[in-house]
Structure 1
């Protein structure tokens, strides 16, 4: 018996669809704009090494991660395949990390004057200026230079001596809402700020920002979610393919009478004589507890609702409407699949697709296609 047969659930990641999504995003860009790939948080839960490797094969030459350790791991993984992309770290530089950034040829995104000052010192002590992106806050109030720090940088340009600024960047707060006026407000503010700064390339758009139009593309876009199969704009459908399939194994079925209770807390009571299937996955695998009594799976094209609460290792489905021959012990229910996308599961769970992906558990048997 192999690991897939032993596992309670099997996660299949289609790297070919992932590469097609990347190619589709590139096709939407203005001429000359570079399409990077954001692979932070273990490539949104799908596996840094196989995902980044496939994206590199698809022509991606620029990657973004959040943490320095992610960048070092990515550098090592790709160097084993003789791939040497540009790697940027969103979360800036912590004190004392400068040597590691230099050793592994990692480029930081600088988010404050203090980070610019530290990187400047490192650059002035190096043989050549050290590359960086400088991040400007235009409305997120999260990372990036605020208005006071921006004024300081404009008035004291020597602060960045020793730094080769590859891009000025900012980040959109509401790009997934096409009609939100903040999108244009941020873009216009970013343009005004760029006029005050030395000439350099620029970057603003995430996945959703790509679909707001070429005015948002600038020189570099930074898609993440759409590469992994999430729809970038709310209430719109683009040619983004479903990258993952998750199927859970039925380990027991039973027939229960009307008014039988199911699961912890007895939160569900059957309204009819019902056939139930218990499947071997739960919140210990990252399957959200909020899906209890609200989520579903599919057997073929038949929707099978979750009944009762999600347990750590188990979840129960009502399979009454499915022929017995299709849903015995050892058969599978599609948890995420062609009829139930990541975004659909997220809606049922009261969250977003990003959280569904990054919560995918370590106990799944993982199968990579492509």
Structure 2
């Protein structure tokens, strides 16, 4: 074993938000893994966001997101688990009432938190507080997180951001069976995710349908629509805007299966959400639609040769706190016209062809 890794510190990390957040944290985890063994890391995350950690072999605890009773039971289970553990560093990247409560029960040499200045309270159980503006930056959120670790005295390599997540072999087999059954194997594949956590984080579904039509007409390709079982109406809205002969197939899969599907796709198009970052972690080209968050802070990790593009039109209230939207049909995502997205898509295809010729 590498001697440097053998003597490296134990680091506990509290990050209980969404799947996309944890995927964006992968570059930091990979840099930590250059310094330590996976067993020296421990993450607290939300149920349903564990996939990146499972693939990287990093120990974790996932909070139950069910009833209040189950949440309380989950909290007690975590406290019991932490009772007999010691961490050299405990890093709270969430800064919530629950994370404060957990931190008070953690045995650690140094407790660190980051968040808005307004969230920093007297009596907080932290030895170091690093102010971070998750709305405006400056800089990408990965850079902000790296800054927190370095200020805590945890050295991170100065290297490229590597957000790749290994594909699950079983999930890939399942996806290949799906593509074979739908007669999609070997066809240029566009995967569209029209959903989003809030209605105002969704580009209009009929415009996604027009992207699918363009893909079929210009690439002779097929389109797969990914969504949850509860989003059938949204899927139907996209399909209603597609010409009858254009092959558009819905896919309702697990997180590992979505990741495997993205690894088979030529292009992903979707809103600012977990699937967008999941597609990027699979190495897929990404066209992302942003409005209520800044792509410069929460956008997908950049790629070479125009493989990653984001569309964003600034409005006065962006970025917002996501508590609602008063703009209605004039909301920020609707400010992105179909024509602009098609022009960007054409440019991405041109760049990809040029890159393919250079690689020959």
If the length of structure 2 is used for normalisation, what is the TM-score? 0.31
Query: Greater strand percent: which structure?
Result: 1
Greater RCO (Cα-Cα under 8 Å, separation 6 or more): 1
If the length of structure 1 is used for normalisation, what is the TM-score? 0.31
Which of the pair has more CA radius of gyration?
A: 1
Query: Greater helix percent: which structure?
Result: 2
